[in-house]
Structure 1
Amino acid sequence: MTGERRPGRPRSEAARQAILGAAVAELKERGYAALTVEGIAARAGVGKQTIYRWWPSKADVVLTALLDLSQTTVTVPDLGSLSDDLMGFLADTFRQSGQRPVLVGLMAQALLDPVFADAFRDRFLFRRRAVLREILERAAARGEIAPGVELELLIDVVYGVLWYRLLLDHAPLDEQAGRRLADLVVRAVR
């Protein structure tokens, strides 16, 4: 059955990009709570039905846009040391603090919608965890992490700081905070 087309109109990459770009633009202007599929469709120049054919909800559109954006803005450094790799990764990650309204909105949606929660966890949260795990496993293989350090707990600590600051907005979530956290982790694992 390879090569067979699914029923319906084929997906247009140009329309997909227009929708994702419109979603990001609408988010920046209106915020997640005021974001609507109607607004995204109007800005992208497509019908609502086109969006609903490809995504079940506004949260799913935003999640796809966020995934596309994170692939181009957050690097996975391999500079040969835990300190350098972690500094680069966390500085890039925390530099994305402008995404706060998007991430908080998606987390809120995940708390309300168990189906979306699964997608958010599997497609975004677990992918980000996997990147950090890769950095830590490389460092462990180089002997930079003491034996017995629980990598999963360490990953929870790093992302715990990120999400705590995102959700409460009580302290800066910027490149400098990412560097300070990286330094703390490096000192803790020795």
Structure 2
Amino acid sequence: MVSDKPLGRPRSEDRRRAILSAAIAELREKGYAALTIEGIAARAGAGKQTIYRWWPSKADVVLDALLEEASDAIAMPDEGSLPGDLLAFLSATFRQRGQRPVLIGLMAQALLDPMFAQVFRDRFLFGRRAVLRQILDRAVARGEIAEGIDPELLIDVVYGVLWYRLLLDHAPLDDEAGRRLAELVVRAVR
């Protein structure tokens, strides 16, 4: 008879959270290039083998940490109107500008590693796009978006601004930028 129990010890939720927190702390302190599994393990009080058993690479550890933080910090707003929803969403998103080292590191890894690129797109980028798509879909249902508007292009515009400013750091990602971008999108859809 084959057992349904997984091999090895089960994951400890406390240990998992400690590792994810350590990964973010190490990343912010040292940057992505200097981030190591050894450093994460030491800060978390975990063994390297535990980390490698749960995640195939440092990028995967950081991605899980980022996903957890994003789901906690950027909720799906429902302010009753497209301008209100966009402003709430973009304000919460732009408030995460402290994640710049994390996002830049993951984007760099995605550019260098096609396998990780697919995981990053599927688990993070497409997930964030889906939230914005829901906001736009609600606006369509309320009649706030003119017929023929391409929602995917609008999503590209919003995230294009975000990523361009994150990567080049040439202009702020602040509440004012969020407000102006929300106004631009609202004008474009009418």
Pairwise CA distance, 1:187: 1.0
> C-alpha separation between the residues in 2 aligned to 1:115 and 1:175?
35
1:21 equivalent in alignment to 2:21: yes
Q: What TM-score, normalized by structure 2, do the two folds share? A: 0.97
> C-alpha separation between the residues in 2 aligned to 1:149 and 1:159?
17
User: 1:79 is matched with which residue?
Assistant: 79
Structure 2 portions without partners, runs of 5+: none
Partners of 1:81 and 1:139 within 8 A in 2: yes
1:116 equivalent in alignment to 2:112: no
Pairwise CA distance, 1:4: 2.2
> C-alpha separation between the residues in 2 aligned to 1:46 and 1:181?
43
User: 1:98 is matched with which residue?
Assistant: 98
> C-alpha separation between the residues in 1 aligned to 2:97 and 2:119?
22
Post-superposition, which runs of at least 4 consecutive aligned residues in structure 1 deviate over 6 A?
none
Query: Which whole-Å deviations, capped at 9, do the CAs of 1:77-101 have from their partners, x for residues lacking one?
Result: 0111000000000011011111111
Query: Which whole-Å deviations, capped at 9, do the CAs of 1:25-63 have from their partners, x for residues lacking one?
Result: 111211111110000000111110000000000000000
> C-alpha separation between the residues in 2 aligned to 1:28 and 1:110?
19
User: 1:65 is matched with which residue?
Assistant: 65
User: 1:6 is matched with which residue?
Assistant: 6
Q: Number of matched residues?
A: 189
Structure 1 portions without partners, runs of 5+: none
Q: What TM-score, normalized by structure 1, do the two folds share? A: 0.97
User: 2:180 is matched with which residue?
Assistant: 180
Partners of 1:158 and 1:181 within 8 A in 2: yes
User: Which secondary structure state, in structure 2, belongs to the residue aligned with residue 77 of structure 1?
Assistant: coil
One-letter identity of the residue aligned with 1:174: D
User: Which secondary structure state, in structure 2, belongs to the residue aligned with residue 8 of structure 1?
Assistant: coil
> C-alpha separation between the residues in 1 aligned to 2:134 and 2:10?
36
Pairwise CA distance, 1:75: 1.7
What fraction of aligned residue pairs are identical, expressed as a percent?
75
> C-alpha separation between the residues in 2 aligned to 1:52 and 1:69?
21
User: Which secondary structure state, in structure 1, belongs to the residue aligned with residue 76 of structure 2?
Assistant: coil
User: 2:40 is matched with which residue?
Assistant: 40
User: Which secondary structure state, in structure 2, belongs to the residue aligned with residue 6 of structure 1?
Assistant: coil
> C-alpha separation between the residues in 2 aligned to 1:121 and 1:175?
26
One-letter identity of the residue aligned with 1:181: L
> C-alpha separation between the residues in 2 aligned to 1:113 and 1:28?
22
User: 1:166 is matched with which residue?
Assistant: 166
User: 2:137 is matched with which residue?
Assistant: 137
Query: Which whole-Å deviations, capped at 9, do the CAs of 1:121-177 have from their partners, x for residues lacking one?
Result: 000000000000000000011000000000001101110111111111111112221
User: 1:149 is matched with which residue?
Assistant: 149
